Amino acid sequence: MTAKRPSAEDRIRELRTAIRHHDYLYHVKDAPEISDDAYDVLFRELKSLEAKHPELVTPDSPTQRVGGQVFDRFPSMEHAAPMLSLDSDKEASALRRFDERLRKALGNSISYVVEPKFDGASVEIVYEEGRLVRAATRGNGRVGEGITENVRTIRAVPLTLRSAERKAPAFLSVRGEVMISIAAFEKLNEQLLAGEREPFANPRNAAAGGLRQLDPRVSARRPLEVLVYDILAATPLDVATQSEALNALRQWGFPTTDMAVQTSDVDAILTYHEDLHARRDDLEYEIDGVVIKLDDLALRDEVGATSHHPRWAYAHKFPPRKEVTRVMTIFPSVGRTGVVTPVAMLRPVELGGVTVSRASLHNREEVARKDIREGDLVRVQRAGDVIPQVVERVAEPGRKRGKRFAMPSKCPSCGSKVLERGPFTVCPNSFECSSQLAGRLYHFGSREALEIEGLGEETAKRLVHEGLVHALADLFDLEVDAVMRLEGFANKSAENLVNAIKAASDTELARFLLGLGVPEVGVAVARDLAAYFKTINAVMAASVDELTQVPGVGSKMAEQIAGFFGNRRNRATIHDLLDGRVNIAPIEATDTQLLDGLTIVFTGGLERFSRRQAQELVQLHGARATSSVSKETDYVVEGTDAGSKADKARALGVSILSEEEFVAFLREKGIEP
Ligand code: IVH
């Protein structure tokens, strides 16, 4: 034991307590006391201390949300108590009957708690001695799928229960809804579309899909949230009502809804329902009705449940956001990434309180599969605030239909010959097609890319449409006089914009890569590419095979990336940018690059670190961490249950290190793991 130990241990404890406290303030109280940056500083300090003292890492540390293990199936998990579903209807009369039934059984003095009905994926989360031990999907109500590792990645889910205001029970099973906010859902779909992948139909599918990932790192990248609304089982259970349960859940550290109300009056419930229905589109999360629950838990036991649903709860649903209308015309529309989307102009129709007059038909294959033509009668649907979708064609026997819709062979915006990429149609003229350029310009200057203050969506559009910017590089040649002539600009604001562009021209590789809008490349992948290749030239020269060596880059992604950099016009744009306009800071050699030039592959489970941590550690010291073994590999570190990679290493004669040997190797190089 070294002399430093006690202080590191104390500091680690202190940091964990602080981080948990700030998690609670952020996710439960909705009242953070420190900035995201200050939070990151605490988090990074904890991570680095834990990296230095792996023996002090505990599973409930805030750094241990994302493990490195990939599963091949979800284990079955029996619930602590049945997860029943709710009886529901959308007619007010059915709600009145529910109320009358209960009054008849229990007398007139009953009261209810009314909550929004969240439209996500229902989960059970179980705590023993205050620690999260397992989590499951609803499944058939009795047995669900074990998704513990995925639920752990949700930042709003406490890994340990708080006992500060109220002692947490020794055993606690809670039920809640895992969701993706409407805003995050729209962003996610934008990213999927940018990567030319199918968007999710609604936030519920996105959340449920995020939960059911065999690789928890994929779940961790989904912006999953949770709201907890029910105690499924607890020992001891010292709450008597639902109102008290919501309070207790909040005190134990769970996010709960702040929209629950208590009432004993059906008319008040109907007003609440109407009010939420009217505000549906302004809420953070998608909801599809309200849930009415008996407040008194003892009375719940008295009325019991049928085999499917409890008699003490009821869902009063909203009318569905689906309507039938007619397609007037179909036209192709070009987005920021060049994807040409067929859009249907509709006879305007009210959809859940909003008038809808256009809907996306997604791509060539979707139009063909649904066989939607001009003049057809169609069913349209809206989820959250997203662009409405055409669900299906409504048959009209005997009516003569129009011609099949065909995607154009040339870009409707710039006339370039379009490419077919899977089901998608793409304009390859990334930086010269004006429909793409405005969007790309805005993206280039966005916060996580070059961060050009004042280059908003509107300004980007004006710059392109007023002819000031014909190519991305023109941005850096803008002069104050020219900008001043744009609508909405004066001397000062034009000067500010030009200065902001100058200031942003010194940038980092990861930001530059992100800003280029390479298909599939988001913030995380841009960082991974930068860490791996170190220079823009190396990224541009990388083959598909080399790209798949980057941890986290799959073969489909690699093809898209290589395709982008292989495109002559894209390369010309990048060269123009680098020709005295943008300056990418060389990636700093950290420390003395103790592992410079080495290529290391990790396989199987490690004890001291997650695979990701080990990869980051060697990268920090100048090595490449790759995901597959080749004769260029210097070392393969073999953990438990290592599979084919270790076999391949043996076949190729690559040195294999056990975890212990790897740690010794690091120490030998002067790196304290
Ligand atoms: S109470 C047995 N409260 O709606 C009743 N459920 O169609 C326990 N849901 O799968 C559930 N919001 O996951 C309750 N505030 C809320 C809810 C809610 C959404 C879900 C629940 C269930 C579905 C029933």
Averages of pLDDT over runs of 10 residues in the chain (673 residues) are: 66 96 93 92 94 93 87 93 93 95 94 97 97 96 95 96 96 98 88 75 89 92 96 95 97 97 96 94 91 96 90 91 90 91 91 81 90 93 71 89 94 93 90 91 94 93 92 94 92 95 95 93 88 93 93 86 93 95 82 79 86 83 84 90 84 90 88 82
Domain match, 93 and 234 both: yes
Shared domain for 154 and 284, answered yes or no, is yes
Same domain, 498 and 543: no
Which residue, among 401, 381, 398, 377, has the nearest Cα to 390 in the 3D structure?
Answer: 381
Distances (CA, A) of 49 to 386, 595, 659: 43, 21, 20
Where residue 33 sits, what CATH number does that domain have?
A: 1.10.287.610
- Same-domain check for residues 294 and 404: no
Quick one: 496 and 516 in the same domain? no
Mutate to test the pocket of ligand 1, among 83, 86, 232 (most ligand atoms within 8 A of CB): 86
532 and 485 in one domain?
A: no
475 plus 492 within the same structural domain: yes
Domain boundary (442, 470, 504) is at 504
pLDDT at 1: 47
pLDDT of residue 388: 83
Catalytic residue among 117, 293, 317, 645: 117
Q: Which two tokens stand for residue 429?
A: 């003229």
Residues spanned by the domain of 330: 322-421
Ligand 1 in contact with 247 (CB < 6 A)?
no
For this structure, is 117 an active site residue? Answer: yes
Q: Do residues 603 and 566 share a domain?
A: no
Q: What is the pLDDT of residue 537?
A: 95
Residue 70 maps to a domain: no
CATH number at residue 479: 1.10.150.20
> What residues form DSSP beta bridges with 626?
601
Classify residue 74: in a domain, yes or no: no
Tell me, yes or no, whether 486 and 583 share the same domain. no
Report the alpha-carbon distance of residue 265 to residue 112 in Å, rounded. 8
Which contacts of 404-411 are long-range, i.e. CB under 8 A and separated by 24 or more positions?
404/368, 404/371, 404/373, 405/330, 405/342, 405/367, 405/372, 405/373, 405/374, 407/332, 407/340, 407/342, 407/364, 407/367, 408/332, 408/340, 411/334, 411/338, 411/340, 411/435
Closest CA to 129 of 161, 164, 81: 161
118 lines ligand 1 (CB under 6 A): yes
- Centroid of ligand 1 to alpha carbon of 289 (angstroms): 10
172 lines ligand 1 (CB under 6 A): no
Domain annotation covers residue 530: yes
Note whether residue 204 is domain-resident: yes
Is there an atom of ligand 1 within 6 Å of 260 CB? no
600 shares its domain with 582: no
Cα–Cα distance for residue pair 457/445, rounded to 1 Å? 10
Asked if residue 302 and residue 212 are part of one domain, the reply reads: yes
User: Are 104 and 228 within one domain?
Assistant: yes
Number of domains observed in the structure of the chain: 6
Q: Please indicate, yes or no, if residue 83 is contained in any of the structural domains.
A: no
pLDDT of amino acid 466: 92
Q: Is residue 644 part of a domain?
A: yes
**Sign of the CA dihedral running 602, 605, 608, 612:** positive
Residue type, 377: L
Q: Is 295 within 8 Å of 262 (Cβ atoms)?
A: yes
Residue 73 domain flag: no
pTM for this entry: 0.60
